[in-house]
Structure 1
Amino acid sequence: MSVASNLTLIQNMYVALNAQDLEAHDQYWHEDMIWHGPPGFGDVHGRDRFKYEVLADFYKAFPDYHVSHEIEFADENWIAGTGYLTGHQKGEYLGLAPTGLPVKMRFSDFWSVVDGKLKENWVMVDHVDTFKQLGVDLMAAINQR
């Protein structure tokens, strides 16, 4: 695929993410895709598991979920981006009960592209900062050990 088509692929996938349109993801992800999530999630194999066990839970935790990239780049086989997810925590997130607090979650993604669809995704999330915004100081908890 071309650089332009790969950037369009990820931009369109983000439209589906922000619309919380789970079924639209079938056109962007391979059925046997792998999502390498950040700590607390682990690897998820398969598009349906990704949609219903990862995305659906994010939408419950942050019903006003919105993601955007600050930086994105691609070549013929790879796409990368970094940006923010914003929303208010209205549901459980990684064991943390709903706080109602706003969050601006910094993330980075790397995707491999095979035959015009996303095949694998490696995700990094700044959970230290995210949890601090939600009232939990992870570094203080670690330093108290």
Structure 2
Amino acid sequence: MSAAQPAGGTASFSRLHEAVNTGDMELISKTIDELAEPDVLVRTPVPIGATGAAALKEVFTRLLRAFPDLHIAVEDMIVQGDKVVYRNTVTGTHQGEYMGVPPTGRSITYQEIFIFRFADGRIAETWGVVDLLSQMRQLGVIEM
């Protein structure tokens, strides 16, 4: 592993993060094409039939349809070897269908942690843990 991988990884993630926060799906899609391997391994269990870079695009398409004002704030970043770990706070207003839940107009805030593995400066593999329980509670699907 070269010393340039972590720096390249953090720069790549920053570009992706900035693109996502624009809410512009065309820019997000283009950025994913530039930064991710076409066959990137997406290890987060998501109910999407697509794989690779297409799966990443579909995730953001669905999120932005549901939460057009989606915003991701990076709270922590850890770099080790060819991996970069991010702890994020995600906010948005539920204005479109999300995981079978019709729009509620509610604002939500939830946490997520992602690990990106980079190869030759490109995203080669991802793992993610998203606080779905918090999402569903805030959308009124689950009461506690």
Considering the TM-score relative to the shorter chain, is it more than 0.5? yes
Equivalenced residues, count: 137
Matches within 5 A, 1:61-140: 61-137=66-142
Partner of residue 43 from structure 2, selected from 13, 36, 39? 36
Match of 1:18 in 2: 21
Unaligned runs of 5+ in 1: 141-145
CA-to-partner distance for each residue in 1:84-133, whole Å, 9 max, x for gaps?
A: 11110111111111111001121000111111011111111111111111
Unaligned runs of 5+ in 2: none
Question: Is 1:49 the counterpart of 2:52 in the alignment?
Answer: no
Spell out structure 1 runs of 4+ moving beyond 3 A: none
One-letter code of the match for 2:56? F
2:32–2:56: 8 Å Cα contact kept in structure 1?
Answer: no
Query: Helix, strand or coil: the match of 1:17?
Result: helix
1:6–1:79: 8 Å Cα contact kept in structure 2?
Answer: yes
Match of 2:9 in 1: 6
Q: 1:112 to 1:44 in 2, by over 3 A?
A: farther
- Give the distance between the partners of 1:87 and 1:135, measured in 2 at CA: 15
- Give the distance between the partners of 1:77 and 1:71, measured in 2 at CA: 17
Q: What is the CA-CA distance between 1:76 and the residue it aligns to?
A: 3.1
2:86–2:114: 8 Å Cα contact kept in structure 1?
Answer: yes
Q: What is the CA-CA distance between 1:44 and the residue it aligns to?
A: 4.7
Q: What is the CA-CA distance between 1:48 and the residue it aligns to?
A: 2.4
Q: What is the CA-CA distance between 1:31 and the residue it aligns to?
A: 0.8
Q: 1:71 to 1:83 in 2, by over 3 A?
A: same
Q: 1:85 to 1:135 in 2, by over 3 A?
A: same
One-letter code of the match for 1:104? T
Q: Which moved more, 1:120-129 or 1:18-27?
A: 18-27
